[in-house]
Amino acid sequence: MAHRARVVVVGAGFAGLAATKKLARTGALVTLVDRNPYATFQPLLYQVATAGMGTSDVSYPIRTFAARWPNVRTRRAAMSKVLPGERRVEFEDGSGLDYDYLVVATGVTTNWLGVEGAQENALPIYSLHDAAALRNRLGQLLEETALGRRESTHVVVVGAGATGVEMAGTLAELRRRTLPLTHPEIKPGQTSVTLVERFDYVLSPYKERLRNAAAAALGRRGVRLRLGSTVAAVHPDAVVLTDGTRLPSDLTVWALGVTAPPQVADWGLPQGKGGRITLTEALNVPGHPEIFVAGDLSGQPTPQPQLAQPAIQMGEHVGRQIAAALQGRPAQPFSYRDPGIMATVGKAEAVLQLPNGLTVRGLPAWLVWIFIHVSYLLGGRNRASVLLNFWWRYAGPRRSATSISQ
């Protein structure tokens, strides 16, 4: 039997799944590896963290995904080392896989930026585990406040990018619309939501009109904005700014950037700014054209934003390049097609910015935001469940906005 190319894809995020879909059609033997048995739809993690959705709504079994193609297999493992000379990857459990082509799409992790006490006292929102931990902690704090065991449940969100804005907006809506019904024992002054950002505006990639609209929408929902403020330290009960201001915080949410995980340094691949792996324009490693990197860990000559769309397009590009190599054709440089960016603030309020300069805000942008996010979910059950949860949270009874407990 003729040798079939072995392709190992490490990472089941947007980039890894997109690459696997392209490679599945080549006839190559593809193995998709991830430390978790599921893929996570990260743009909706804030909904899990605020109890609007369950963990199963934004996750999808990798084996179910791979079952679509007879030449795709999966493996649950965490990569510990790459041996380019041997064309082999090794995993933390001591096992390994040989490859003809390797796709590294493991993603990144929370960047604590060296802020004192941040890692110990703040909760990130990058993984499914993070979102579930946030939801459980918030529920615990509210319950203890309602029972009089603690004085307050003040939340500080650090970072006013899309994740921070979405988190703060949703928390503020819950505070004003839902808690008076579900936790009537808690007085308004015992809770607050504060958003801290080092820039003088929220959503820095957006045009000024949309930034101002988002900030105004947050203000209407009761979010306290601390713009132009830098965090100096995070304590168990407060966030301290560089000007000495102490913001009471019973729960600090860290939504302030990502970086390459420390273990990437052990893989033996060249790294550049932010720990990203240094690549050629075709997204492969210099000197090792059989190793490709896609997604947030990709340090290509033209850095791309660490968002879903760049990751998807890089994954598809890598899949096409490996398919071309199997046919003896040369690799082509990656070119990003910007579809635009969007973020939501809360019910019927979102901002949308297209590459041609067109901007949309309010209800139309919010409906587009929902449609786009639902369409990218894996599996019909997930799409139906997420749509139902959106409707229930924003159109159902106010008391049911936090209807998910597990």
CATH number at residue 308: 3.50.50.60
In a domain, 213, yes or no: yes
Residue 405 pLDDT level (bands cut at 50, 70, 90): low
Note the pLDDT of residue 401: 65
Do 232 and 156 share a structural domain? yes
In a domain, 45, yes or no: no
Q: Of 126, 35, 51, 55, nearest to 382 (Cα)?
A: 55
CATH number at residue 384: 3.50.50.100
Cα angle 10-12-16, degrees, rounded to a multiple of 5: 70
In a domain, 60, yes or no: no
In DSSP terms, which residues pair with 259 in a beta bridge?
A: 109
Q: What is the value of pTM for the model shown?
A: 0.92
For residues 47 and 49, what is the distance between their CA atoms, to the nearest angstrom? Answer: 5
Do 248 and 141 share a structural domain? yes
Do 241 and 96 share a structural domain? no
Do 132 and 226 share a structural domain? yes
Do 215 and 294 share a structural domain? no
Do 210 and 146 share a structural domain? yes
Out of 326, 351, 375, pick the residue that ends a domain: 326
Do 386 and 360 share a structural domain? yes
Instruction: Tell me which residue range forms the domain holding 322.
Output: 6-35+77-108+260-326
In a domain, 40, yes or no: no
- pLDDT, averaged across the chain: 93
Burial class (CB in 10 A: 0-12, 13-18, 19+), 318: buried
In a domain, 285, yes or no: yes
Note the pLDDT of residue 400: 66
Residue predicted with more confidence, 302 or 142: 142
Do 247 and 137 share a structural domain? yes
Q: Which residues neighbour 94 within 8 Å (Cβ) at sequence distance 6 or greater?
A: none
Q: Which residues neighbour 280 within 8 Å (Cβ) at sequence distance 6 or greater?
A: 286, 289, 300, 301, 331
pLDDT digits 0-9 by tens, 236-260 = 999 999 999 999 999 999 998 888 8
Out of 272, 296, 326, pick the residue that ends a domain: 326
- Other Cβ atoms less than 10 A from the Cβ of 335: the count is 9
Out of 302, 326, 350, pick the residue that ends a domain: 326
Q: Of 371, 304, 376, nearest to 337 (Cα)?
A: 304
Do 284 and 252 share a structural domain? no
For residue 299, the number of C-alpha atoms closer than 13 Å in the C-beta half-sphere is 17
Note the pLDDT of residue 392: 81
pLDDT digits 0-9 by tens, 282-337 = 999 999 999 999 999 998 777 788 889 999 999 999 999 999 999 999 999 999 99
> How many domains, in total, are found in the chain?
2
pLDDT digits 0-9 by tens, 41-60 = 999 999 999 998 999 999 99
Q: Phi and psi dihedrals of 388, rounded to 5?
A: -60, -40
Give CA torsion, residues 73, 77, 83, 84, to 10 deg.
Answer: 40
In a domain, 59, yes or no: no
Do 135 and 14 share a structural domain? no
Mean pLDDT, to the nearest integer, of 214-219?
97
Range from 4-13, 142-151, 152-161, 255-264 carrying the lowest mean pLDDT = 255-264
Do 222 and 125 share a structural domain? yes
Mean pLDDT, to the nearest integer, of 328-352?
94
Note the pLDDT of residue 274: 83
Do 249 and 265 share a structural domain? no
Q: Of 368, 343, 342, nearest to 355 (Cα)?
A: 342
Residue 2 predicted with pLDDT over 60: no
